[in-house]
Amino acid sequence: MTLSLTFSMFVAWVTNAVYVQSQIISKPFIGTTLPWTYVGVIGALTVSVWNLTRDQTPADEIRRVFTYIGEYNGKVIVLLLTLPILGVAGALFINRVSENGIALFVLATCAVLPLSVLHFDEKRRYLGLAILAISFALVLQRALLATHLAFGDGMAEYGVAQRILNNGYWIPTGTKGAMVRVGPMQAAYQLIMDIPLLWVFKTAHPFVFAFTPVIGYLLATRYFSKEVAFLGSALYVFLPETYRLLPRNTRTGAAVFFTAVLVAVILDAGIEKRYRNFLALAFFWALITSHYGIGPLVLLLIIPAYLCYYVLRRLGERSQPMAGFVSLTLYVVLTYGWYAYVTSDTFDFVAGVLIGRALNFLEPTSNTAATNALSFGMPSLSFEVFFYSHLIIAAFTCLGVGIVALVYLLRLLSVEHPLITWLSEFVGMDAHGATRSGAYLSMMLGFALLFPLSFGPNILSSARTFGLLMVFMGPFAILAMCLPKLLRGRFVPASVFLVIIMLVSSGFVAATVTHDASRVPNFDRDRIVQSGDRLEQFALYRVYTPESGIFASSFIAKHIPDESMVYKSRLGTYQTQPRSSDGTGPIIRDIQQPTDLNKGYTYIAQVDMTSGSITTGFYGFIYYEYFELPEFTNKDLVYTNGRAKIYDGN
Residue type, 111: A
| Mean pLDDT of all residues in 588-598 | 86
**For position 229, what pLDDT does the model report?**
92
The per-residue pLDDT for range 322-349, each reduced to its tens digit, is 666 667 777 777 777 777 766 666 666 6
Tell me the pLDDT band of 409, cut-offs 50, 70 and 90.
Answer: confident
**For position 151, what pLDDT does the model report?**
57
The per-residue pLDDT for range 125-154, each reduced to its tens digit, is 889 899 999 999 988 888 888 777 655 567
**For position 325, what pLDDT does the model report?**
63
- 429 and 557 inside one domain: no
- 344 and 461 inside one domain: yes
The per-residue pLDDT for range 186-232, each reduced to its tens digit, is 888 888 888 888 888 888 888 888 899 999 999 999 999 899 999 99
Does residue 476 lie in a domain region?
yes
The number of distinct structural domains making up the chain is: 2
Higher pLDDT, 263 or 273: 263
Tell me the pLDDT band of 457, cut-offs 50, 70 and 90.
Answer: very low
Tell me the pLDDT band of 448, cut-offs 50, 70 and 90.
Answer: confident
- Per-position DSSP letters for 253-305, written without gaps between them: HHHHHHHHHHHHHHT-TTS-HHHHHHHHHHHHHHHHTT-TTHHHHHHHHHHHH
- 475 and 553 inside one domain: no
Of the candidates 439, 78, 426, 392, the residue with the CA atom closest to the CA atom of residue 235: 392
- 455 and 556 inside one domain: no
> What's the domain range around 569?
546-648
Does residue 638 lie in a domain region?
yes
Tell me the pLDDT band of 630, cut-offs 50, 70 and 90.
Answer: confident
The per-residue pLDDT for range 384-395, each reduced to its tens digit, is 887 778 778 888
Does residue 82 lie in a domain region?
no
Burial of 110 (0-12, 13-18, 19+ CB in 10 A): buried
- Give CA–CA dist 79/188, Å, rounded: 34
- 558 and 479 inside one domain: no
For residue 367, pLDDT over 80 is answered with no
Residue type, 547: E
Does residue 70 lie in a domain region?
no
For residue 56, pLDDT over 70 is answered with no
| Mean pLDDT of all residues in 55-70 | 57
Burial 628-646 (b: 16+ CB within 10 A, else e): ebeeeeebeeebeeebbbb
| Mean pLDDT of all residues in 148-164 | 74
Does residue 441 lie in a domain region?
yes
pLDDT > 70: what percent of the chain?
A: 81
The per-residue pLDDT for range 272-305, each reduced to its tens digit, is 888 888 888 888 888 888 887 788 888 888 888 8
For residue 319, pLDDT over 70 is answered with no
Q: Specify the pTM.
A: 0.86
Q: Can you tell me whether residue 139 is helix, strand or coil? A: helix
Residue type, 173: T
Does residue 409 lie in a domain region?
yes
**For position 459, what pLDDT does the model report?**
45
pLDDT > 90: what percent of the chain?
A: 8
Tell me the pLDDT band of 60, cut-offs 50, 70 and 90.
Answer: low
CA distances from 112 to 151, 161, 482, 495 (A): 30, 39, 18, 8
Higher pLDDT, 334 or 552: 552
Angle between helices 226-238 and 418-431 (to 10 degrees): 60
- 434 and 575 inside one domain: no
- Cβ atoms of 471 and 443 within 8 Å: the answer is no
**For position 649, what pLDDT does the model report?**
67
**For position 252, what pLDDT does the model report?**
80
Pick the last residue of a domain from 449, 483, 517. Answer: 483
| Mean pLDDT of all residues in 425-446 | 84
| Mean pLDDT of all residues in 170-178 | 78
pLDDT, the chain, mean? 80
**For position 359, what pLDDT does the model report?**
57
Of 281-290, 310-319, 475-484, the range with the lowest mean pLDDT is 310-319
Phi–psi pair at 613, nearest 5 degrees = -150, 160
Of the candidates 299, 297, 294, the residue with the CA atom closest to the CA atom of residue 333: 299
**For position 454, what pLDDT does the model report?**
56
Helices marked H in 363-461: 369-375, 381-412, 418-431, 438-448
- Beta strands 645-648 and 636-640, pairing class: antiparallel
Element (H, E) at 312: helix 294-314
Pick the last residue of a domain from 463, 483, 503. Answer: 483
Winning range, highest mean pLDDT, from 93-102, 387-396, 487-496, 576-585: 93-102
Does residue 370 lie in a domain region?
yes
- 602 and 464 inside one domain: no
First to last CA, the chain: 57
- 575 and 471 inside one domain: no
The per-residue pLDDT for range 3-23, each reduced to its tens digit, is 778 888 888 888 888 888 888
For residue 57, pLDDT over 60 is answered with no
Pick the last residue of a domain from 462, 483, 504. Answer: 483
| Mean pLDDT of all residues in 249-267 | 85
Tally the residues of the chain: 650
Of the candidates 462, 311, 472, the residue with the CA atom closest to the CA atom of residue 400: 472
**For position 650, what pLDDT does the model report?**
64
Tell me the pLDDT band of 242, cut-offs 50, 70 and 90.
Answer: low
Of 50-59, 248-257, 335-344, 440-449, the range with the lowest mean pLDDT is 50-59
| Mean pLDDT of all residues in 309-332 | 74
Does residue 229 lie in a domain region?
yes
CA distances from 597 to 42, 144, 214, 607, 645 (A): 59, 36, 52, 16, 13
- Give CA–CA dist 132/207, Å, rounded: 11
